[in-house]
A and B are shown apart, each in its own frame.
Chain A
Amino acid sequence: VLGAGGGTCSYREAEDADLLVMWGSNAREAHPIFFHHVLKALRRGARMYAVDPRRTTSAQWADAWLGIHVGSDISLANAIGREIIAAGLVHDEFVNRATTGFDTYAASVEPYSLERAEQDTGVPASLIRQLAHDYARADRAQICWTLGITEHHNATDNVFALINLSLLTGHVGRYGSGLVPLRGQNNVQGGGDMGAIPNKLPGFQDVESDLTARARYEAAYGVPLPAKHGWHLSQMFEAMETGEMTACYIIGENPVRSEADTARASGLLAGLEHLVVQDMFLTGTAELAHVVLPATATWCEAEGTVTSSERRVQRVRKALEPPPGARDDIEIINEIARRLGADWGSPSAEEIWDELRSLSPMHAGMSYRRLEERGGIQWPCYDEEHPGEMFLHARLWAEDKAQRGAPAPFTPVVQEDPLDELSEEYPVRLTTGRRLDSFNTGVQSGQYATPIRRPETLNLSPEDVARLGFAEGEVVRVSSRRGSLEAPVHVDETLRAGLAFMTLHFPEQVATNVLTLDAWDPKSGTAEFKATAIRVDKLDAPALAGEGQHAEVTT
């Protein structure tokens, strides 16, 4: 956010915040570690709002829950912004000194009255007003979000809408105030840090625009680097479709199960001329591969670092010998390079890390010794004297204009409804999410026993179950415009009529992503997992005309 690919706050700041807005985040189940910090804050007296279509177990801790319609986030955020402006609660000094584009923003949110937002979101205007006032008046307030914000076709706009609110109220760059996107895996942040994104070199240095950085890499490696952004995942699948991309090397990812519109994804992967998969497990994707490279478990069988959501780089140490045949990722990559004719030697994890430090200024001060001594360091850390930064963007509050640097821009955004529209044929909104006891497609968590794990179900509100004449546990047909599957019904009181919920934890049992739309956000490349239009029928009901243009994937 705000030009840096990480949350602005540290976990412990959440404990000292006065107000937490959990927006599109069921952290209680999906980010239990972060939620421990939230609970400490609540016990200390902090208030919490939850914005989520479902009243999740996180939302049940909140002082107030705003049960918005799926995909109406921008309308809500803009209405909150408008109300803050109208009520005179804008942090004028911060806005004047540290931001640009306020007037345009103010004009852009003008159409989003509380009444309109109530209509768009379903949430009472009075509650929206209350959130606006409480957020603006709080001394320390944070907005925390997860995939409820980002797994939409307009994910980036959603994030901008939230950033705008923090700029309006000065809730950024100060201790305890900030913007906190929560990462779903222990090292998603680290992947981004290390340049595993199509447009950035390690350390979030832009491939196209940061010429100095690119020159630095070219000098270090002695080869010219491509000067253009690469493809992100959704673009890669499109390129497979058009035949532009014919080979793929996948490391530690299981797109056959995790991509939206599974049938299409596995078809495309299967059609590649050459597919290499490097993974700890023989995943669904690996089964399609021409070559499978068994890798070690990075958290216990290899040396290295990980980065947490609060930008803290920590050491990972090898504790176990890998099973026979499995090899360290570094070793595999170097071996491939050698077979391709480039001998990179056999560098240790620390040597590679030190090379990174010489190329990525924000990691420069993080020697293994310091990481060890300090129990991890939060980037940026520019030299070996630098302690790292607990929170980002403190510069925006500097008295001195030069220190303050470039102001943070407001980015006006407009409400766009989910692409997969509800209709008479597909009247129910399906949203997807996670459960406490499982992790993503279950590759890593599925083999561990837990007493609370239930198999996949289609969760429906008591009202819909009654209306459709289903019974708890009855297997029904769930259809979207893309495919259909069968799943048992579960009555879920946290849902309202017209809203359904599934996870993606049990792809072998129910391939939820058969249903989802692979429409993606052009700015971030994230697919719209959170908003699918479905219909639910008894198994003996006749199939809908026109269906069947996609293979029916039921398991």
Chain B
Amino acid sequence: VDLRLGVPGPATAEERAAVATVLGPPETGWDGGQRRAQDGHAAFGGHAARARRHLLLPALHAVQDRVGWISPGALDHICARLTVPPAEAYGVASFYALLRTSPSPRTVVHVCDDLACRVNGADQVCEQMERRFGAEGTQSRANGAGVTWQRSPCLGQCDRGSAALVQRAGADPARIAVAPVDAGQITPVSAAGPAPAPMVPQVTDEPLTGVSRDGGSPAGGSPDGGPAAAGGQLRLLRRVAKVDPASLGSYRAAGGYQLLRRAVAAGPQGVIREIKDANLLGRGGAAFPTAVKWEAVATNPVRPHYVVCNADESEPGTFKDRVLMEADPYALIEALTIMGFACGAEQGYLYIRGEYPLAEERLRHAAAQARALGFLGQDVMGEGFAFDIEIRRGAGAYIAGEETALINSIEGKRAEPRNKPPFPAQSGLFGKPTAINNVETLLCVLEILRIGGPAFAGIGTPRSTGTRLFCLSGCVERPGLYEHDFGVTLRQVIEAAGGVRGGRPVRAVLLGGAAGSFVGPEALDTPLTFEALRETGATLGSGVVLVLDDTVDVDGLLQRIARFFRDESCGQCVPCRVGTIRQEELLARVARGAPLGSAGQELALLRDIAAVARDASICGLGQTAVGAALSAAALGLITGTGSGNGSGGGATTGTGEHGSGPAGPGSGGGNGKEPA
């Protein structure tokens, strides 16, 4: 309240107008309006003002979208309006990658150079960008407008070859996902010039997402074309490319909102019982029983309750939630409504990552239509319960996918994970009981209500029930999103996607994304179930299957992973903050053949770093940050570490007595999301 950011000028009219779109026009001189005589003798603030703190991130977004950066004056203005100390607000603004706190050209191009894109030539794209726009981070002009570009972590377009996100500020702000990227296109089409074509919702772009269901039978289901081509029963993807994502009518014609009706008839306890019978485990990465969460919230006497959909999918290599939200947004709205009904919440939040403009737009449209037709609001479907959904946009922070970090982000704070306990079911959003699940989990709930809990439990294996979405990327013939019954093996999953590109041999597969682990060719016949993978020390995480053939530069991938964690560590826990930096340095030393001591000593150090980060970080990010590197070392994938045992399997190699992998018991597995 008392500190100012240096000596900022006042906010410009443009900045104030942007803030007013979120907070409304200022009412008094104290919150940034005209100073009136009566303001000299009375002012109101305190709890009422601080209760609006959760609008901080939306207000920052508004300024960023309008002006391209958040000036000290704009920040001060927001702070005055929300009574947030500027130091705290600056902490928030500087936390997120999509918000800029220093002057910036109005157009910023984020070029993905993360795992999948890297395998598909992100370096060449970056070279093209450099030729066209100058070095990364420098300003240039295109068609009279300022442009800059920078490398970005995964943009969730891994099925499309290469990806970029164009973030353009102005009176007609736009965020445009470009995939596959042709640097040549970026200048005239999106970085400058007239507004891009509005993002009209349309049926999912057919060729971009291969969708398949392979009923656990031997490989062979060939998924060319849409989901229908697979022939079998798609469950979570059943409406993809079948319904118009912009039409509630189309969704209802396909059976939409019948399940909410069914849920209301069953009552909250009935819904939870079905989920319990289905033995549904969360799909965000930590595989926590969904019914336990919901029941804990539903039976908590503290009011109000909140439900949150975690759509901040940012695990590198993951794009399943994006496909679901872009192609089937009403299903998510319906599922979240059912969750609210079952948990006794009247308010739901849907937190979607800022890199998914199309999905966000379609969800906003879907929610608005649902509200207009009485599927959200004070009296949902005339059934006498109230529920509404607020969509919150993330701003570029991997860690925000951790459930308590996401809660903090909604509250207008830095997306730093909280200590647990208390768990969100006891004290979550705004300190109230909160249930939080990711998109795929919620769509599983729809399927459970459709076929019944016991029937759902009959699919897959006894301990991994239902179907699972797999994000196939890297060196596969047909990258895309595939749905399989649990129990399918890794080999089957890869073959369903057409096998390894060009018929080359598999060198390794990265399961679960950056927070997951590498497995070698000997693991191809492991069933991809929670229990089987846990035994081998690997994890399914968010369903990433990044296939690497014998041409891929694994050292480069590992260094990208290390850079990713160093960037994304929120910095709260020292072992993670420092350990991720040490890991990056270590891998760079080994890669350039200059280890400290011997390569063996370096690997021992890596294991030390991993152990400390795993034991002493409060969230999954730190706990898994060194896992991929350890598993790669165990497989002998790191150049210069001596073993070179490319097919040695998960078994111990010359240096890797931790061959059983990184995500040991207690790590919560996963990608930092939904820890148990």
Nearest chain B residue, comparing its CB with the CB of A436: B2
In the bound complex, do residue A60 and residue B40 qualify as a contact, i.e. CB atoms below 8 Å apart? no
Contact with B along A317-353 (1 / 0, CB 8 A): 0000000000000000000000000000000000000
Given A57-B2, A436-B2, A463-B35, CB of A64 within 8 Å of CB of B44: yes
In the bound complex, do residue B2 and residue A496 qualify as a contact, i.e. CB atoms below 8 Å apart? no
In the bound complex, do residue B46 and residue A64 qualify as a contact, i.e. CB atoms below 8 Å apart? yes
Does A87 count as interface, using CB distance less than 8 angstroms? Answer: no
In the bound complex, do residue A462 and residue B46 qualify as a contact, i.e. CB atoms below 8 Å apart? no
In the bound complex, do residue B43 and residue A64 qualify as a contact, i.e. CB atoms below 8 Å apart? yes
> Which of B38, B48, B83 sits near A60, CB closer than 8 Å?
B83
> Across the interface, which residues of A come within 8 angstroms of B46, CB to CB?
42, 47-48, 61-64
Does A65 count as interface, using CB distance less than 8 angstroms? Answer: yes
Complexed CA–CA distance, A462 and B1 (Å): 20
Does A174 count as interface, using CB distance less than 8 angstroms? Answer: no
Complexed CA–CA distance, A68 and B42 (Å): 9
- Which B1-57 residues sit within 8 Å CB-CB of chain A? 1-3, 29-30, 35, 37-48
Does A122 count as interface, using CB distance less than 8 angstroms? Answer: yes
- Which A172-210 residues sit within 8 Å CB-CB of chain B? none
In the bound complex, do residue B2 and residue A497 qualify as a contact, i.e. CB atoms below 8 Å apart? no
Does A535 count as interface, using CB distance less than 8 angstroms? Answer: no
Nearest chain A residue, comparing its CB with the CB of B43: A65
- Say how far B29's CB is from chain A's closest CB, in angstroms: 8
Does A66 count as interface, using CB distance less than 8 angstroms? Answer: yes
Complexed CA–CA distance, A462 and B42 (Å): 17
Given A57-B1, A63-B46, CB of A122 within 8 Å of CB of B41: yes
- Which A20-52 residues sit within 8 Å CB-CB of chain B? 28-29, 42, 45, 47-48
Given A48-B46, A57-B1, A62-B46, CB of A67 within 8 Å of CB of B35: no
Nearest chain B residue, comparing its CB with the CB of A463: B35
Given A55-B30, A57-B2, CB of A496 within 8 Å of CB of B45: no
Does A127 count as interface, using CB distance less than 8 angstroms? Answer: yes
In the bound complex, do residue B40 and residue A122 qualify as a contact, i.e. CB atoms below 8 Å apart? yes
Nearest chain B residue, comparing its CB with the CB of A498: B40
Contact with B along A198-232 (1 / 0, CB 8 A): 00000000000000000000000000000000000
> Across the interface, which residues of A come within 8 angstroms of B37, CB to CB?
496-497
> Across the interface, which residues of A come within 8 angstroms of B47, CB to CB?
42, 45, 47, 63
- Interface residue range, chain A: 20 to 34
In the bound complex, do residue A124 and residue B1 qualify as a contact, i.e. CB atoms below 8 Å apart? no
- Which A491-520 residues sit within 8 Å CB-CB of chain B? 493, 495-497, 499
Does A308 count as interface, using CB distance less than 8 angstroms? Answer: no
Given A60-B83, A462-B35, CB of A55 within 8 Å of CB of B2: no
> Which of B2, B38, B42 sits near A66, CB closer than 8 Å?
B42
In the bound complex, do residue A124 and residue B41 qualify as a contact, i.e. CB atoms below 8 Å apart? yes
Does A17 count as interface, using CB distance less than 8 angstroms? Answer: no
- Which A422-462 residues sit within 8 Å CB-CB of chain B? 436, 452, 461-462
Complexed CA–CA distance, A45 and B431 (Å): 13
> Across the interface, which residues of B come within 8 angstroms of A532, CB to CB?
none
In the bound complex, do residue B2 and residue A64 qualify as a contact, i.e. CB atoms below 8 Å apart? no
> Across the interface, which residues of B come within 8 angstroms of A63, CB to CB?
44-48
Complexed CA–CA distance, A495 and B30 (Å): 11
Complexed CA–CA distance, A62 and B48 (Å): 10
- Say how far B72's CB is from chain A's closest CB, in angstroms: 16
- Say how far B26's CB is from chain A's closest CB, in angstroms: 14
In the bound complex, do residue B1 and residue A67 qualify as a contact, i.e. CB atoms below 8 Å apart? no
Complexed CA–CA distance, A124 and B40 (Å): 11
> Across the interface, which residues of A come within 8 angstroms of B43, CB to CB?
55, 59, 64-65, 67
Complexed CA–CA distance, A127 and B45 (Å): 13
Does A121 count as interface, using CB distance less than 8 angstroms? Answer: yes
- Which A114-134 residues sit within 8 Å CB-CB of chain B? 121-124, 127
Complexed CA–CA distance, A452 and B3 (Å): 9
- Say how far B76's CB is from chain A's closest CB, in angstroms: 11
- Which A60-86 residues sit within 8 Å CB-CB of chain B? 60-68
Contact with B along A96-107 (1 / 0, CB 8 A): 000000000000
- Say how far A33's CB is from chain B's closest CB, in angstroms: 16
Question: Most B CB atoms within 10 A — which of A29, A55, A463?
Answer: A55
In the bound complex, do residue B40 and residue A496 qualify as a contact, i.e. CB atoms below 8 Å apart? yes
Complexed CA–CA distance, A123 and B40 (Å): 9
Complexed CA–CA distance, A127 and B42 (Å): 8
> Across the interface, which residues of B come within 8 angstroms of A64, CB to CB?
42-46
Given A28-B2, A462-B35, A463-B35, CB of A60 within 8 Å of CB of B42: no
In the bound complex, do residue A123 and residue B42 qualify as a contact, i.e. CB atoms below 8 Å apart? yes
Question: Most B CB atoms within 10 A — which of A47, A67, A452, A495?
Answer: A67
Complexed CA–CA distance, A238 and B40 (Å): 38
In the bound complex, do residue A61 and residue B44 qualify as a contact, i.e. CB atoms below 8 Å apart? no
Complexed CA–CA distance, A332 and B482 (Å): 89
- Say how far B644's CB is from chain A's closest CB, in angstroms: 56
In the bound complex, do residue A497 and residue B40 qualify as a contact, i.e. CB atoms below 8 Å apart? yes
In the bound complex, do residue B35 and residue A68 qualify as a contact, i.e. CB atoms below 8 Å apart? no
Complexed CA–CA distance, A45 and B30 (Å): 23
Complexed CA–CA distance, A15 and B517 (Å): 49
Given A55-B30, A57-B1, CB of A67 within 8 Å of CB of B44: no
In the bound complex, do residue B41 and residue A67 qualify as a contact, i.e. CB atoms below 8 Å apart? yes
A–B Cβ pairs within 8 angstroms, 10 of them? A45-B47, A55-B43, A61-B46, A63-B48, A64-B44, A65-B43, A121-B41, A123-B42, A124-B42, A493-B35
**New contact pairs (14) apart from A59-B43, A67-B40, A127-B42, CB-CB < 8 Å:** A55-B30, A57-B1, A60-B83, A61-B45, A64-B43, A66-B41, A122-B40, A122-B41, A123-B42, A462-B35, A463-B35, A493-B29, A493-B35, A499-B40
Chain A residues engaging chain B, CB cutoff 8 angstroms: 28-29, 42, 45, 47-48, 55, 57, 59-68, 121-124, 127, 436, 452, 461-463, 493, 495-497, 499
The 4 closest A-B pairs by CB, nearest first: A496-B40, A63-B46, A57-B2, A122-B41
Chain B residues engaging chain A, CB cutoff 8 angstroms: 1-3, 29-30, 35, 37-48, 83
